[in-house]
Amino acid sequence: MSKCYIPEISTRKINSEIVSKLKDTFSNNTNTKKFVCGPDGFYEIKDNSISKFVTVIQSEMIFENFIDKKTLIVSNQYDKKLGDVEYIPYESNDIQIEYMSFDIPESNNKFVLEFINNRCLDFYFQTKEKIKQNNVFINNDVSLILKTLNI
């Protein structure tokens, strides 16, 4: 899976008005997950078991002047389950992330917003494919979202 970021756009620009506009324009899905973040990975607690994960970044690419002189950063990454554990390190924090995913018409790509305590902390385009070069489908999808957001 790949995550595509546009660093020139601040998360501070993602406000309730923008979210409403996205909800009105695209079909969407909201999902909330609870994690425990530790110094050596993150943990998910489900049905009396604790699973430990780490994020593995396989490769990253930068496409300058992608759209309207904006940069696209592509991170080919996945969350790898290391297995079940008996305990969580003391130096850890509980977090709850709300994922708001917007389906892009006629595409396998999604636009994802991540919220903690109703504040947008991250946004990205998510693809199922591993991106190895400049991709016309990503280009079209990013352009469509940017036009909708008007930023």
Domains, the chain, with CATH or none = 2-149 (2.40.320)
CA angle 132, 134, 138 (to 5 degrees): 100
Mean pLDDT, residues 80-96: 94
Specify the residue for token string 């991709």.
135
Q: Identify the pLDDT of residue 130.
A: 67
**What digits encode the pLDDT tens for the residues 25-81?**
999 999 999 999 999 999 998 888 999 999 999 888 888 888 888 888 989 889 999
Q: How many CA atoms lie within 13 A of 82 on its CB side?
A: 13
Q: Is the pLDDT of residue 149 over 70?
A: yes
What's the rounded Cα separation, in Å, for the pair 35 and 97? 8
Q: What percentage of the chain reaches a pLDDT higher than 90?
A: 53
Binning pLDDT at 50, 70 and 90, where does residue 133 land?
low
Do residues 85 and 52 touch, judged by C-beta distance below 8 A? Answer: yes
Average pLDDT, the chain: 88
pTM above 0.75, yes or no: yes
Binning pLDDT at 50, 70 and 90, where does residue 134 land?
low
